[in-house]
Amino acid sequence: MQRRAQFSSDAQKSLFDQAKFTEGLVRCQELLTELRTRDPRQADIGHLLYERAGFQRMSGDLDGAIATMHETLAFDLATEGEVSWNTFKSLSTLARFNILAGHHELAEQLIRRGLAALNQLPMEEQDERYVFLMNLADIYSSRGQLREAELQILEALRLVGRNYWADSLGAVCFELSWIYMRQHRLVAARRTMQKAIRFFERTERHRLNELKLGRMYYHLGRLHQRMNEPAEARQCFAASLAVSQSFPPLDDPRRIRWEKVCRERLADLEEALVTMP
């Protein structure tokens, strides 16, 4: 079976890019009802379930997204079996959602299950492995096991770097920088976050990547503040603000939140610079 696309149609992708998550969710449900009436094992059902979970997650319904991903995983196992890219994707996404919900034991079970299934494939077909490792690193980090988390992320970085996926390299470097910060290795954290930004600036420019890039600039600014580098911090906050203003619709709540936070940080920084002896 083919790997499922992120979106079932350009129309659904457009709704997602415009942050019209409720509309996308309604359309997913309509299409699912229609398909299940015709053929309950049709492959597109799995695609739409996965898509519905994404819309639920972005609209703030994490419990609903988890329930839908359980349904997606059950569908994939019934139609494709344990060793299937779609099953791996469902396992890693379900693990991620459970981590976000604080269900770390269940998430770790899902990760171990996914890694065991991946081990049955040749290494060149294990491109989802790095996602499982990143999720496992999150669990270790939440337990304060920072060295174990670092090792998982470094292995993920090695796997992604072999294929040079710019957006994935950026995401992995960003997570690694957080581990370095928690280890009080601020120079390493700064250099790694700068690498993450460089990778992300080479990716396709769309809403999610723009949001991630703005977030990276913002946190790099905070790191510069922590390292007493006000000029660099101001530059990063300004870059984050510019990114947040660069894409429609203007009423996107996430864009508005980042803009407000960045403006507050810039104002605080300007005031501090003025009052410095």
| 2-6, 30-34, 100-104, 197-201: the lowest-pLDDT one | 2-6
Stretch 76-97: mean pLDDT: 94
Token pair recorded at residue 227? 């390292």
Res 39 pLDDT > 90: no
Q: How confident is the model at residue 163 (pLDDT cuts 50, 70, 90)?
A: low
What residue spans define the domains of the chain?
1-121
Residue 248: is the preceding peptide bond cis (ω within 30°)?
A: no
**Distance in angstroms (rounded) separating the CA atoms of residues 132 and 176:** 15
Stretch 178-195: mean pLDDT: 96
- Residue ranges of alpha helices (H) inside the chain are 10-17, 21-38, 43-58, 62-79, 85-100, 104-118, 129-142, 146-163, 166-182, 186-200, 207-226, 230-244, 253-275
Q: How confident is the model at residue 153 (pLDDT cuts 50, 70, 90)?
A: very high
Place of tokens 């710019």: 166
The pLDDT, as a whole number, for residue 42 is 80
**Distance in angstroms (rounded) separating the CA atoms of residues 10 and 206:** 14
The pLDDT, as a whole number, for residue 250 is 54
User: 211-238 pLDDT, tens per residue?
Assistant: 788 889 999 999 999 999 998 998 999 8
Tally of CB atoms within 10 A around 258: 21
Report whether 214 contacts 258 (CB < 8 A).
Answer: yes
Res 40 pLDDT > 80: no
Q: Specify whether domain 1-121 bears CATH 1.25.40.10.
A: yes
